Structure 1
Amino acid sequence: MMVTDTPAQLFGPLFAAVQETGLFPDSKTFADARPLRAPAAILADWQRQRPGTSEGLRHFVFANFDIPQDLPTPSPDGLELAAHISALWPLLTRESANPAPGSSELWLPHSYVVPGGRFRELYYWDSYFTMLGLARSGRYDLIENMIGDFGSLLDRIGHIPNGTRSYYTTRSHPPFFHLMAALSRDDSVEGRRRRLDWMRKEHRFWMAGAEDLAPGGEGRRVVRLDDGALLNRYWDDSDRPRDESWREDVALADEAPARNRGELWRDIRAAAESGWDFSSRWFADPRALTSIRTTRLVPVDLNALLFGLEQAISKAASGLGENDLSYDFAARAERRGRAVAAHLWNPLGGHYADFDLDSGRVSDRLTAAAAFPLFAGIASAAQGRSTAVALERLLRPGGLMTTLSENGQQWDAPNGWAPLQWIAIIGLRRYDEMTLADEIAERWLAMVRAHYEASGQLLEKYDVVACAAGSGGEYATETGFGWTNGVTIELLATRRGGASDIEAITTGGVNG
């Protein structure tokens, strides 16, 4: 596994000083800065000079680092919405240069699409939804490039990190790679075998340590429940403050003196691996980030995605004549499906939810993650119908809210996010819940279109109650924006009656 020191590790007291003084409003800015000379020389000069004023610190930093800028807000172009989105792809496409020594940037072999704004690098789960739009725009060249980039990360690091920065390498993101691989048009034996090998590497990462777990045991991302069921959770292999949110994480720990700081920071990081950073879904107290306990929950979305990964490996292996491997992974998927049914279904609420490792029972909190087992095809027909009824509780004028809790976190009410709309719409269509699926699609598209026509922009997240820009979280709502672009252009093409092949979308095959 390739291991790269992060800026906090390389620059130690200098990094802490920059973040503590709030030299940059966004903690991510300095984490992304490029050293202009050898890190050891910069740190030695810092330790010798120790400028005592904020102005002295600023002068030192700007003399020794290239400070990154956010990607510019795309200018309104007057194009129709789908044409505007297709025109954005070149603006969001990047090529990797050779990273400077000490830079947090990870090199990639091929061009790729970034989300936009402060997100200057390739992100894992974001990219699947971006790639849906690339397919609709006919940009299969970029799709193949990005599959190759993610494969390169699997080869070099052993997993796909949250994003292509050194400070993201201790965690991954929701495992969507098998769905990206299904978008490939390379049907050669070599290409199919390469994608199968990459999917198996991803599976090994998520299941590391599983073979040593007794009932009731836990190890990194795997847990074995008392009945022997093997499931997964989100985790991070570091228990330090995040480089990209260092100041915020230290401040949060100061607010919670009774909590073990390492445990708190690992739970924060695990929530970042989930993509839902942050949400009351992970909190003991729905209004208090200090009560975050991500690693004590077995998430329904993660396990639905891993069920899909196991099915995809089985299908790919069968297509290559590797029957023993195919049978093995089909059995793994079947066991996981039974475990999801046994432990992640809330019969009183009539919806899927996360399993609480401490209480030993399923959560009663309804979130948009309840749609993932429908997307993956785990639910029975009755559970599909019941889940549709439950999801209607989240429906608002602009689409589905993420949760029913309004607490200022960006993955809570009143915000809605493009990827969760897509998962719910496809999952509902898979279970013939067309009325609700079409209603979500129409409401989401009407809101996105109205905001685009008024501002010329697409946003990272939206307030689906007010049909306005979303809010909350550690940074301002960004424009660009990769996954909103992708989901929007795909829904415009499949707005009523379902996508052309839902089975292909969710288990393998080419979409589009």
Structure 2
Amino acid sequence: MRKFIFILFIGLQLGGVSAQQIKTPDQLYGQLFIDVQMQDALKDGKTFVDCVPKRNPKLIVQDYLRLKKNKKAFNLKTFVAQNFIVPDTNAAAVITSNKPIITHVNDLWTALERVPSDKTANSSLLSLPYPYIVPGGRFREIYYWDSYFTMLGLQASGKNETIENMIRNFAYLINQYGHIPNGNRNYYLSRSQPPFFSLMVDLLAQIKNKEVYLTYLPALEKEYAYWMDQSAATKHVVRMPDGSLLNRYYDQLNTPRQESYKEDVIAARQLGIKNPEIYRDIRSAAESGWDFSSRWFSDGTQLKTIQTTQIIPVDLNCLLYHLENTLQKCYANKHDTVKEKLYKSLAEKRRQSIRKYFWSASDQWYTDYNSKTKRPSPVLSLAGMFPLFFKLADQQQAELAKTVLEQKFLRAGGLTTTLHNTHQQWDAPNGWAPLQWVSVTGLENYGYHDLGKTIATRWVNLNTKVYHNTGKLMEKYNVVDIHLLAGGGEYASQDGFGWTNGVLLGLIKKYNLPQ
């Protein structure tokens, strides 16, 4: 595995910053990085890549290679503590469970806010110019798609300035690196996340005025260029059998993730797989935000069959349809009829392709598409609600999908992510805040108010119940057995938690739900 460590970002140009100028933790620390991650010197693999060195990394590595020869006297955990500022992994953003839940969330915004600071030498954190909200727990940085749903709560709390500051930060990242990375850490630069930037701009335009579209037009265009392989050969574009273009998730690296190094190395060893492309599929699932899910497994069950780069995701293409529509809107406001027509045409072509490739008549549901088998995916997931969220389904399709949703996905605590329990966190029995919002809004778009309110009520009640029992709002919930915690995934369920707070407040406000 070691031979892959030192090839990160070679030849990859990231916007205005050359990748060769950026040293990720594995590049800085070499063998020390490998040993810390593989020997569990720190409980969570993400902790070490978030550490800040107390002195020159070259000197730290030199001392490490010298001192570790004395195996009896050397302690790796002690060495890390002596040479690095280790982030506090135990700090929980808990105020009190005695306050009303809305008051609790409003208090949490302060706990989860981070303010700009000077760039720290050899830190993995990418500096941002404006204040922002982090999800919480081990997620100590801003995250791309999380932030849209967090903004829904910030809007409900009247924190419009924070929303605008976060959007300014994302525009800064686009201008600086050519895209919005997974999060503002240098080890996330090889991938993005579901492209919600255009929805954030929409949200801000509703708060302020249409001039927002012109302000962020350059950033929106760069975002589109990244996803469409125009600014760099990112390989996100796939030519479909009829010649049309759709998109997939595709991380730029085929190495173990720095923040989950041991997990990825062990997974590859256990699977007996020597092809490093498994790492790209793992990383690409991380770009999707659904890491991990039966959506990406060829057998619908096991990680060893992961094939993310062969899957054309329905949700990603709906998001890019919205981006194309937003660019059309931008140019309409600018009175540039040529580019307005261009993006209108691109959006229409994508709309037709979404209908053609993602609607499964047999399942009566929108599914992903497998580019290798040239067939719809057999896995039904809440990603299938994105066409309703963006009003891409016709009324008959919406009616059929509504029935499937109610009969198969609706549970005591809200909507389950998929119908499969694979022990992965983006599968049953787990429910996630963003997918509740997308589904509820999708139902409302087609007039299914009662079902939307039922889902919202069950989700809010579950969030409230857990809060009163624990004093926390969680990253995800078990919606099937509301007496059990959510599980699965590579880390313990996190509390904080940005997008849960946002969707909770948004749904309470939308339906005027009692607390």
TM-score band, normalised by the shorter chain?
over 0.9
Work out the CA distance in 2 between the residues paired with 1:474 and 1:439: 32
Work out the CA distance in 1 between the residues paired with 2:463 and 2:337: 46
In structure 1, the residue matched to 2:429 is 414
In structure 1, the residue matched to 2:7 is none
In structure 1, the residue matched to 2:81 is 62
Work out the CA distance in 2 between the residues paired with 1:347 and 1:220: 30
Work out the CA distance in 2 between the residues paired with 1:44 and 1:55: 14
Task: Pick the aligned partner of 1:148 from 152, 164, 168.
Answer: 168
Amino acid at match of 2:217: L
Task: Pick the aligned partner of 2:489 from 473, 478, 487.
Answer: 473
Amino acid at match of 1:335: K
Please state if 1:482 is matched with 2:498: yes
Q: What does 1:309-458 align with in structure 2 at a 5 Å threshold?
A: 309-392=323-406, 393-458=408-473
Task: Pick the aligned partner of 1:299 from 306, 309, 313.
Answer: 313
Cα deviation, residue 452, structure 1: 1.4
Amino acid at match of 1:56: N
Cα deviation, residue 77, structure 1: 4.8
Task: Pick the aligned partner of 2:141 from 101, 114, 121.
Answer: 121
Q: What does 1:132-143 align with in structure 2 at a 5 Å threshold?
A: 132-143=152-163
In structure 2, the residue matched to 1:503 is none
Work out the CA distance in 1 between the residues paired with 2:73 and 2:415: 45
Work out the CA distance in 1 between the residues paired with 2:210 and 2:322: 22
Q: Deviations over 1:393-445 (max 9, x none)?
A: 11100011000111111000000000000000001110112222111111111
Runs of 4+ in 1 over 3 A off after TM superposition: 185-189, 209-212
Work out the CA distance in 2 between the residues paired with 1:253 and 1:115: 30
Work out the CA distance in 1 between the residues paired with 2:209 and 2:438: 26
Q: Give the TM-score, by structure 1 length.
A: 0.93
Partner SS, residue 276 of structure 2: helix
Work out the CA distance in 2 between the residues paired with 1:74 and 1:453: 12
Q: Is the 8 A contact 1:401 1:413 kept in 2?
A: yes
Q: Deviations over 1:38-73 (max 9, x none)?
A: 222222222333353595222221121111113424
Segment drifting more, 94-103 vs 424-433: 94-103
Please state if 1:10 is matched with 2:28: yes
Q: Is the 8 A contact 1:416 1:464 kept in 2?
A: yes
Change (3 A) 1:163 1:211: closer
Q: What does 1:6-85 align with in structure 2 at a 5 Å threshold?
A: 6-51=24-69, 52=71, 56-70=75-89, 71-85=91-105
Amino acid at match of 2:332: S
Cα deviation, residue 319, structure 1: 1.2
Cα deviation, residue 487, structure 1: 0.1
Task: Pick the aligned partner of 1:171 from 162, 173, 191.
Answer: 191
Q: Is the 8 A contact 2:102 2:505 kept in 1?
A: yes
Q: Deviations over 1:275-301 (max 9, x none)?
A: 000011101123211111100100000
Partner SS, residue 183 of structure 1: helix
In structure 2, the residue matched to 1:205 is 226
Q: Give the TM-score, by structure 2 length.
A: 0.92
Partner SS, residue 75 of structure 2: helix
Cα deviation, residue 186, structure 1: 4.3
In structure 2, the residue matched to 1:102 is 122
Work out the CA distance in 2 between the residues paired with 1:483 and 1:287: 27
Q: Is the 8 A contact 1:35 1:100 kept in 2?
A: no
Q: Is the 8 A contact 1:240 1:262 kept in 2?
A: yes
Q: Is the 8 A contact 1:186 1:192 kept in 2?
A: no
Cα deviation, residue 176, structure 1: 0.4
Q: Is the 8 A contact 2:93 2:108 kept in 1?
A: no
Cα deviation, residue 188, structure 1: 7.2
Work out the CA distance in 2 between the residues paired with 1:211 and 1:19: 32
Cα deviation, residue 388, structure 1: 1.0
Q: Deviations over 1:341-374 (max 9, x none)?
A: 1111111001100100111111122101100011
Q: Deviations over 1:221-278 (max 9, x none)?
A: 1100121110000010011100110010000000111x34411100000000000000
Task: Pick the aligned partner of 1:254 from 269, 278, 281.
Answer: 269
Change (3 A) 1:47 1:128: same
Work out the CA distance in 1 between the residues paired with 2:203 and 2:360: 33
Work out the CA distance in 1 between the residues paired with 2:292 and 2:144: 17
Cα deviation, residue 24, structure 1: 1.1
Work out the CA distance in 1 between the residues paired with 2:151 and 2:308: 28
Matched pairs, number: 489
Change (3 A) 1:354 1:260: farther
Partner SS, residue 448 of structure 1: helix
Task: Pick the aligned partner of 1:464 from 479, 483, 498.
Answer: 479
In structure 2, the residue matched to 1:265 is 279
Please state if 1:286 is matched with 2:331: no
Work out the CA distance in 2 between the residues paired with 1:251 and 1:211: 32
Cα deviation, residue 151, structure 1: 0.5
In structure 1, the residue matched to 2:9 is none
Work out the CA distance in 1 between the residues paired with 2:73 and 2:331: 59
Work out the CA distance in 1 between the residues paired with 2:318 and 2:115: 33
Partner SS, residue 26 of structure 2: helix
Q: Deviations over 1:174-207 (max 9, x none)?
A: 0000111122244374x43221111111100000
Change (3 A) 1:54 1:367: farther
Change (3 A) 1:210 1:386: farther
Work out the CA distance in 2 between the residues paired with 1:32 and 1:211: 28
Segments of structure 2 that go 5 or more residues without pairing to the other structure are 1-13
